[in-house]
Amino acid sequence: MQTDTEKQIKQDLLTEIQTLEHNYRVMSGFISGSDYDPATIGNSIQTFKDSLSRSSAFVLALYNLKGRRVNIPWESLFTNLDYALATLSVSASTKQRDAVRVILSMSKNQIEQVIAYFSALKDSLTK
């Protein structure tokens, strides 16, 4: 039987997964060449990063409730997202947006792994 704490963590995690999926679609579109204004892509990157951090904390909490340990291997992705955000903050010129697109393209496999992991987790939580 689930505790109230566990139920709340799962609900919060599901909300964060929805946020990740939404921002992934924006970032993926940007990588593919869709023309987003710098504020939109910057907001999506920041929101994705923040949501990934919270989602990871919820996963750690769930594993801790079960007495298990888990390793969350997203550090290099966080670093790349920080680089993209820093690049956007310097200037919103076409060159900066192209540089952000390259940074996100280099991180695309990691981003897709994150989304695949959390999508599978979402499926297991909703069964």
Residue 12: predicted pLDDT: 96
Query: Which of the residues in the chain have pLDDT under 50?
Result: none
- 72: closest CA among 81, 89, 61, 60? 60
**In the chain, where the domains are located:** 4-125
Residue 81: predicted pLDDT: 97
CATH number of 4-125: 1.20.120
Q: What is the pTM (predicted TM-score) of this model?
A: 0.92
Residue 70: predicted pLDDT: 82
- Residue-wise pLDDT for 60-71, tens only, equals 999 888 888 888
- Nearest-angstrom CA–CA distance, 34 and 26: 9
Residue 93: predicted pLDDT: 83
